[in-house]
Amino acid sequence: MRPLLIILALLLANAAADCDVLQDLCVADLTSELKINGYTCKNAATVTRNDFFFAALANPSPINNNTLGIAVTLGNVEKGPGFNTLGVSVARIDYAPGGINPPHSHPRASEVIFVLEGELEVGFITTANVLMAKQIKKGEVYVFPKGLLHYQKNIGVGPAAVIAASNSQLPGTQSVAASLFSATPSLPDNVLAKAFHIATPEAEKIKSRFAPK
C-alpha cells in the first residue's frame, strides 16, 4: 500500500504544467546562454515593474491576408521576462472572416480562450477520436485540455478575436499539417502517403505548398 501512495503522490506533484516557484520572482535574463529547463533569473537589483508589464495584446495585429486569415500575438517569457517561472502565458488571436486556427496542440499546457469579439466555432478531439465542438461568441469561454488537438474558426460576418491563456510559460504549439509536411529533414513521402491514404505524388505536392516562399 505504501509504494502505491508514494507513486500517487509523485503523479500528483507532477500534474502541474510547469514546476512550482521557489522564490517571489525570477525575472528572466534573456541574454544568458545558460538554460536549465527555462531561463535563469537576472540580478534582483535590476528588476523593475516594467518586467511584469505587457501591452502587446491591447490592439489587434494586422492579418495581411495570409492563407489562414489569422494573426497570433504571443505573451510569454520570450516576450515578457516577468512571465519566467510563473507557469502562465497569454496570447491574442485575431481572425479575418472565415479565418481559421488549424488543428494543433500545446504539448506542455491546457488552454482557455475568452472571446473578445465575433463568433467562433471551436473544438478539440479526444484520444478516443470524439470531437467536442461548439459555437461561442463575445464574452464566452472555452477550454482545451493539455496536449489534445484543437482548432478555432471565425464563422461570423466580421472579424473576431480571443484572448488565450495557458498554464505554462512556454506551452509550445505543434500544427498538424505544418509539422507533418514541412519537417526538417522531411518525412518520407511514402510514410505520408500511407498515413493519409493518398498517392505519393500528392504527398509531394502538399509538401511543396508548405515550402518556404
Contact 41, 26 (CB under 8 A): yes
- Say if residue 150 carries a ligand binding annotation: yes
Amino acid at 149: L
Range list of β-strands (E), 70-173: 70-75, 89-95, 100-105, 111-117, 119-125, 131-137, 141-144, 150-154, 160-166
Contact 94, 158 (CB under 8 A): no
- Say if residue 101 carries a ligand binding annotation: yes
Cβ partners under 8 Å of residue 206, min gap 6: 181, 192, 198
Cell numbers for 26, please give them. 525570477
Contact 95, 154 (CB under 8 A): yes
Cell numbers for 114, please give them. 475568452
What spatial distance separates the first Cα and last Cα of the chain, rounded to whole Å? 60
Q: Which residue positions form the known binding site?
A: 101, 104, 106, 111, 150
Q: Which residue positions form the known binding site for Mn(2+)?
A: 104, 106, 111, 150
Q: Which residue positions form the known binding site for oxalate?
A: 101, 106, 111
